[in-house]
Amino acid sequence: MILFCFGCAKEMAIKNDFFNRPEFNPNHYDPPILSGRLGNNEVLAGAAKEKITPDIKANRFYLAGYGFGINFRVAEDIHDDIWVRCLSIHDGQNGLVFASFDLIGMGRGDINEIKKSVADIIPPSHLFLAFTHTHAAPDTMGLWGPIFFISGKDNNYIASVKKRAASCIRSSWDNFKKAKISFGSEILNNAPLEIMSLDDAGGKNIALLFNYAMHPNLIYGNYVSADILWPVYERLEKELGGTPVFINGAQGGVGAIVNHHEGNRNDWGTVEINGQLLSEKIFSALKNKEEEKNPEIVVRQKLIKVPMEDWKFKMMIFLGVIEERRDNEGKIETEVNSIRIGQAVFLTIPGEAMPNIGQALRQVLAIHKVKRRFILGLVNDELGYIIFKNDWQAKKYPYQMRVSVGPEIGDIVYDSLQGLILKDLILKNLRE
């Protein structure tokens, strides 16, 4: 599955030295000018969050998750608010934004509209919209309506989410401060937890990005909630003071850290136990964090096409429940990205990759001596489960196969990301 197609990867890098220009031009994607220059180990960092909790008294909201078209649920109570959380980083040459939504996912058309709405400050190729995949938030994809062929999306809510996302992105960009980046890692349930901490000159936390593979799906009833992340957000905000930003990993088929008690799908005690376990490991990783000495940002993107083969998705498209994205060959376009911040590499996946795909990508990075390895799932798309073709042929994951666009996507995603990794490392070595 190795792909040596370096020329077909689309490198997206905006080269600007805004400190040397007398006037600020927003068309160059520069952040607000700060006095003085950045030190060798400094970046600019800003964070913000916006509430995206639905008004359940004003409208009827179908909740996402748990099999589409057969298990509809309607929001009846708000247990805790859900948010979009944004983190902007700029190294003086290149910038990027991570935006994490407490939502199941979002279609590429809606994602691209958010990107276009802030294209005056950040190139679309440098904006990464991620979804925590909570199963206790409104249906933002259309798959969980009252019956199979009726969308569960509320268009007014989607418009509100887009507006608040744009506001959050702009606020994080406008809140830039000089910062230092540190990375840390831990192991939880035999799976990697990676963190990136950004702190100002006084050591105060601006934001903490944490990356772990799990399904926040302990709450099955009629509540709106960030699920497992609710107690984590609360503790991190209280004890660190910055903005916590969660991005899921290769979580296909992965459940919660500790599953609910049998027969109790709304056990808030188990939610808090999960939150406590995750929080403790985050603080352990913070104790052992290491400062990044050369936080250069490099973003490489590859647009890929994958066959749409699942009959259920085809039927949903035919009925107008989900957007039509197929070209004349029946393929849909999506993307993968390799993001390097100093010695850390972040790989983005357009859906729910099975854990062995994440493990294989981490092994590729380890072979090339990349110490900080982030696998970011559900970024800039949600194409369901992403499975290696040989696992598909062996029928290794029967449920996940029913919620996937088809057997080809896993190998295409893996090969494309491996190509980006190799291209980035070769060009990096040539520069050095």
**Residue 287 φ/ψ, nearest 5 degrees:** -65, -30
> Per-residue pLDDT tens for 295-354?
999 999 999 999 999 998 898 889 888 889 999 999 999 999 999 999 999 999 999 999
Rounded Cα–Cα distance for residues 316 and 149 (Å): 7
Per-residue confidence (pLDDT) for residue 264, from 0 to 100: 61
Rounded Cα–Cα distance for residues 52 and 314 (Å): 30
- Per the CB < 8 A criterion, the answer to whether 409 and 386 are in contact is yes
Least confident of 64-78, 290-304, 344-358: 64-78
Per-residue confidence (pLDDT) for residue 423, from 0 to 100: 85
Rounded Cα–Cα distance for residues 113 and 251 (Å): 26
What distances in angstroms separate CA 263 from CA 217, 218, 220, 267, 399, one per listed residue? Answer: 14, 12, 11, 10, 21
What is the average pLDDT score of the chain? 89
What distances in angstroms separate CA 102 from CA 3, 119, 228, 246, 385, one per listed residue? Answer: 34, 23, 11, 9, 19
**Residue 209 φ/ψ, nearest 5 degrees:** -95, 125
DSSP-based three-state secondary structure for 311: helix
**pLDDT above 60 (res 27):** no
Per-residue confidence (pLDDT) for residue 17, from 0 to 100: 34
> Per-residue pLDDT tens for 116-159?
999 999 999 999 999 999 999 999 999 999 887 889 999 999 99
- Per the CB < 8 A criterion, the answer to whether 297 and 96 are in contact is yes
**pLDDT above 50 (res 19):** no
Contacts of 345 (CB under 8 A, 6+ apart): 338, 339, 365, 370, 372, 373, 374, 421, 424
What distances in angstroms separate CA 117 from CA 112, 157, 163, 170, 206, one per listed residue? Answer: 9, 17, 9, 10, 25
**pTM to 2 decimals?**
0.91
What distances in angstroms separate CA 407 from CA 113, 149, 325, 389, 392, one per listed residue? Answer: 29, 24, 18, 5, 6
Rounded Cα–Cα distance for residues 129 and 136 (Å): 19
Label each residue of 51-99 as H, E or C.
Answer: ECCCCCCCCCCEECCCCCCCCCCECCEECCCCEEEEEEEECCCCEEEEE
* Residue written as token pair 């040989």: 390
**pLDDT above 80 (res 428):** no
Rounded Cα–Cα distance for residues 211 and 350 (Å): 15
What distances in angstroms separate CA 249 from CA 213, 329, 354, one per listed residue? Answer: 4, 30, 9
Arithmetic mean of pLDDT, 42-51:
97
> Per-residue pLDDT tens for 155-177?
999 999 999 999 999 999 999 99
Rounded Cα–Cα distance for residues 8 and 432 (Å): 23
What distances in angstroms separate CA 274 from CA 168, 216, 269, 284, one per listed residue? Answer: 28, 10, 9, 16
Arithmetic mean of pLDDT, 271-278:
94
